Amino acid sequence: MARIKIKGMSCGHCRKAVARALESVDGVSEVAVDLAAGEAVFRAGPEVSEAAVLEAVRRAGYEAAYA
Ligand SMILES: [Cu+2]
């Protein structure tokens, strides 16, 4: 499983927005976003680039980085 840190989530709406953004990336599945911890864990297939994942989260309005 891959894990990223996310900055700027403040409520359940943020958590859902980040989850949707991650699920929109081809090859990403089993997304779990932890609001309190400010992180997300997901399964990423071999076609998934870290840059694409971070860009998807950024487009949703949040800063993200691989831990
Ligand atoms: Cu929010």
Measure 8 CA to ligand 1 centroid, in angstroms. 8
> Domain limits of the chain?
2-66
DSSP-derived secondary structure letter, 27:
T
pLDDT number for residue 11: 98
pLDDT, tens digit (0-9, with 9 covering 90-100), for 6-27: 999 999 999 999 999 999 999 9
If one counts every other C-beta atom within 10 angstroms of the C-beta of residue 2, the result is 15
Measure 30 CA to ligand 1 centroid, in angstroms. 21
pLDDT, tens digit (0-9, with 9 covering 90-100), for 22-61: 999 999 999 999 999 999 999 999 999 999 999 999 999 9
Residue 26 has, within 13 A of its CA and on its CB side, a CA count of: 1
DSSP-derived secondary structure letter, 36:
T
Q: Which two tokens stand for residue 54?
A: 């971070």
Fold of 2-66: Alpha-Beta Plaits (3.30.70)
pLDDT number for residue 57: 98
Measure 17 CA to ligand 1 centroid, in angstroms. 8
What's the rounded Cα separation, in Å, for the pair 34 and 48?
Answer: 21
DSSP-derived secondary structure letter, 40:
E
What's the rounded Cα separation, in Å, for the pair 35 and 62?
Answer: 12
Q: At residue 67, does pLDDT exceed 90?
A: no
